Chain A
Amino acid sequence: MADIDSSGGGSSPKKGKKKRGKKLSTRVDMTPMVDLGFLLITFFMLTTSMSKPQAMEINVPDNTKIPENQETKIKASQAMTILLTGKDQIVYYFGVGEEVQEPQITDYSAGGIRKILLDEARKRNPSFDSIAVYENQFKSGKISEELYKANRLRIQGYKNGLIILIKADDKARYKNFVDILDEMLITNNGRYAIVDIAPSDLKMIETNPYLKK
């Protein structure tokens, strides 16, 4: 099997010699066994999954009703509202949304919502860029993970920092929702909430002439 017959000519029994027991080679042809081995390897490689699924953790607030006077109000100067709508478009405006002012339209590209989120976070939180510095130090092993996380939480919890309200209408896709949460991770914005869309927002989307319907 694994060799080419090179004995040359047929077997010619020699005459006049004493009949002797033929010496048999103890070599076994391994080729079929290798074939089988690799076939099984291929099978196992294709049918099994090595990697565990990855997941993104999200926390939503408890939805038990709290009395009106105990609700924490956020300052309009801190708040940014992001509305996810159809055709992969984002509408955003600043303020809580009692009266929608100057809504802007952007998209999910790096130059779109990510740049805006970073700019706004920097504007409101003077030490915002330190998170990236701490992250680099942590990655190069200069500081411990606990120290990095503590600093990160401290900076993200800055009292005048940006608070993002994420709302999605019925036309938004699941991808949009995951993308915006991913942007929150990428831009190190720790304070965001997923909120139900308000009628005024829906009306604004409905009447906005610049949105692709």
Chain B
Amino acid sequence: MSKVKVPRKSTWVDMTAMTDVAFLLLTFFMLATTARPEEPVTVDTPSSIAEFKLPDTKVIIVTVDKTGRVFFDLKGKDFRRALIEKMAAKRQVALSPEEMDRFSLLSAFGAPMNEMKSFLELNPDQRKQYNVQTKGIPSDSTNNELADWLVESRKVTGNTAIIAIKGDVDANYPVFKQIIKTLQDQKANRFNLITGLERK
């Protein structure tokens, strides 16, 4: 008997379909998502069963890290631009239009107003270093810059901004008491606490 001859088949795989899928997914991810904004500090949020979702703009986020430093963020580029103009005028800090533009593109910051100018001149790497050693935005009763930021943010957004507090699990309660008091003093009696998903 002669050997059965196995016909040689090409191992060429048609990749076209795979390319189609890959690029379809790529397009989906590019369109459906927004770039994650860089956060100045890592914050481990506590978990809860709450289901309310925060919108993307017109949100004021007050971040408190592990050591109780306060960072401030207002979402929305145009609002930020208006905010820094108001704040610079209020606190008499001279900022150039370029610096204000730069501010409008940033996210959360923890620079007191007297360091704001030098903070805006830093490059991203230096800014990262700055965020490690900064004391955060002053929020105590002697120099409550946080109150000013909140008042002006609410003004530029026409009082429609949602206020959210994002705190670290290990942050001390007195810091929050101070923030809540600051909010109460300006009649912002309704606000949110950002929490993670309940792990259970």
Interface of B is mostly: mixed
How many B residues are at the interface, by size bracket? 35 or more
Pairwise interchain contact B194-A53, C-beta atoms closer than 8 A: yes
Is B164 interfacial (CB-CB < 8 Å)? yes
Stretch with Cβ within 8 A of A (4 or more), from B51-59, B92-100, B103-111, B134-142? B51-59
Q: A62-B187, A178-B46 are in contact. Are A44 and B13 (CB under 8 A)?
A: no
Residues from chain B with Cβ under 8 Å of A58 in the complex: 190-193
Residues from chain A with Cβ under 8 Å of B56 in the complex: 52
Pairwise interchain contact A49-B33, C-beta atoms closer than 8 A: yes
Pairwise interchain contact B172-A52, C-beta atoms closer than 8 A: no
Residues from chain B with Cβ under 8 Å of A30 in the complex: 14-16, 18-19
Pairwise interchain contact A178-B54, C-beta atoms closer than 8 A: no
Q: Which has the most chain A C-beta neighbours within 10 Å: B18, B54, B168?
A: B18
Is B36 interfacial (CB-CB < 8 Å)? yes
Is B199 interfacial (CB-CB < 8 Å)? no
Q: Mark A20-55, 1 if CB is under 8 A from B, else 0.
A: 000000010111011001101100110111101111
Q: Which residue of A lies closest to B50 (CB)?
A: A56
Q: Which residue of A lies closest to B171 (CB)?
A: A174
Pairwise interchain contact A56-B171, C-beta atoms closer than 8 A: no
Pairwise interchain contact A56-B195, C-beta atoms closer than 8 A: yes
Residues from chain B with Cβ under 8 Å of A44 in the complex: 26, 29-30, 33
Residues from chain B with Cβ under 8 Å of A6 in the complex: 8, 10-11
Docked Cα-Cα span, A12 to B15, in Å, equals: 30
Q: A30-B16, A170-B172 are in contact. Are A55 and B194 (CB under 8 A)?
A: yes
The 4 closest A-B pairs by CB, nearest first: A37-B22, A30-B15, A48-B33, A56-B50
Residues in chain B within 8 A of chain A (CB atoms) = 8, 10-16, 18-19, 22-23, 25-26, 29-30, 32-36, 46-56, 64, 164, 166-177, 180-181, 183-185, 187, 189-198
**A-B contact list, 10 entries, CB within 8 Å:** A50-B33, A55-B53, A56-B195, A57-B191, A58-B190, A63-B185, A170-B174, A174-B64, A174-B171, A174-B173
Given A55-B54, A178-B193; 15 other pairs, CB 8 A cutoff: A3-B10, A30-B16, A34-B22, A37-B26, A40-B26, A44-B26, A47-B36, A55-B164, A60-B184, A169-B173, A174-B167, A174-B172, A174-B173, A182-B195, A185-B50
Residues in chain A within 8 A of chain B (CB atoms) = 2-4, 6, 27, 29-31, 33-34, 37-38, 40-41, 44-45, 47-50, 52-63, 84, 168-179, 181-182, 185-186, 194, 196
